[in-house]
């Protein structure tokens, strides 16, 4: 029963943060929305609002990390760029837009752009599975100047968070059915591949040819 109540409070906190904004979510809101009369129940389990947010992150990112490791094992030691992008995108898509109900995409977007919780999100996104994907993606970008490789991968992550949160809202509004959601995830992988491998501008390309960029760290 204790585990069930804690899990329920995590679910309520995720939904409220996703739909009202993470800054507007209070422990009292979670207590009331969860149907608990004990006004200190949320504080008892999580200590603070920050502790509650961390609990939501832990509850969601653990299974995503495991799923991503499964995909990495399936694609083998020599994956191509699309395989790697899929290993990042698909586990997120499966628990958000491909699920019948979810708030995780919107919660994650809210937390990732809130100064108070940004570092927590970054720490969660740097789980072992994501570190593996990120490093492998950077190695794949041989046609991109070295100074832009890491930036492109990090911008891809932000793009995915925004896109998934938006698609979650479309699904809840009845504008994204199951078939369309599957196409969305596949197209999101395509778009990320394009973002990562877009040819550099002539100005940047000239630096690559002259070796200027190669000397940068």
Distance, CA of 18 to CA of 121 (rounded, Å): 14
Classify 211 as helix, strand or coil: coil
Flag whether 185 is in a domain: yes
Distance, CA of 124 to CA of 79 (rounded, Å): 24
pLDDT band at residue 2 under the 50/70/90 scheme: very low
Domain of 199, in residue numbers = 57-211
Q: What is the pTM of this model?
A: 0.87
Flag whether 15 is in a domain: no
Q: How many domains does the chain have?
A: 1
Flag whether 131 is in a domain: yes
Distance, CA of 47 to CA of 40 (rounded, Å): 9
Flag whether 21 is in a domain: no
Flag whether 37 is in a domain: no
Distance, CA of 178 to CA of 211 (rounded, Å): 48
Flag whether 206 is in a domain: yes
Query: Encoding tokens for residue 155?
Result: 């911008």
Flag whether 122 is in a domain: yes
Per-residue buried b or exposed e for 12-27, using 16+ beta carbons within 10 Å of the residue's own CB:
bbbbbbbeeebeebeb
Flag whether 74 is in a domain: yes
pLDDT tens string 25-54: 999 999 999 999 999 999 999 999 999 999
DSSP state of 212: T
pLDDT tens string 98-148: 999 999 999 999 998 888 888 888 777 777 888 999 999 999 999 898 889
Q: In this model, does residue 217 exceed pLDDT 70?
A: no
């Amino acid at each position: 029963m204790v585990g069930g109540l804690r899990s329920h409070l995590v679910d309520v906190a995720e939904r409220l943060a996703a739909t009202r904004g993470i800054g507007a979510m209070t422990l009292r809101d979670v207590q009331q929305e969860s149907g608990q009369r004990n006004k200190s129940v949320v504080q008892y389990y999580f200590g603070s609002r920050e502790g509650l947010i961390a609990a939501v992150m832990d509850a969601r990112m653990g299974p995503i990390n495991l799923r991503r490791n499964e995909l990495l094992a399936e694609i083998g030691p020599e994956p191509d760029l699309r395989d790697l992008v899929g290993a990042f995108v698909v586990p997120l898509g499966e628990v958000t837009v491909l699920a019948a109900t979810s708030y995780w995409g919107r919660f994650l977007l809210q937390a990732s752009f809130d100064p108070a919780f940004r570092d927590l999100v970054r720490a969660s996104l740097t789980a072992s599975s994501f570190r593996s994907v990120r490093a492998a993606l950077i190695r794949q970008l041989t046609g991109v100047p070295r100074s832009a490789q890491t930036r492109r991968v990090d911008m891809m992550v932000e793009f995915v968070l925004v896109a998934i949160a938006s698609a979650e809202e479309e699904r809840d509004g009845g504008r994204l059915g199951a078939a369309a959601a599957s196409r969305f995830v596949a197209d999101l992988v395509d778009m990320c591949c394009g973002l990562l491998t877009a040819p550099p501008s002539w100005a940047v390309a000239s630096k690559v040819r002259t070796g200027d960029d190669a000397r940068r760290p």
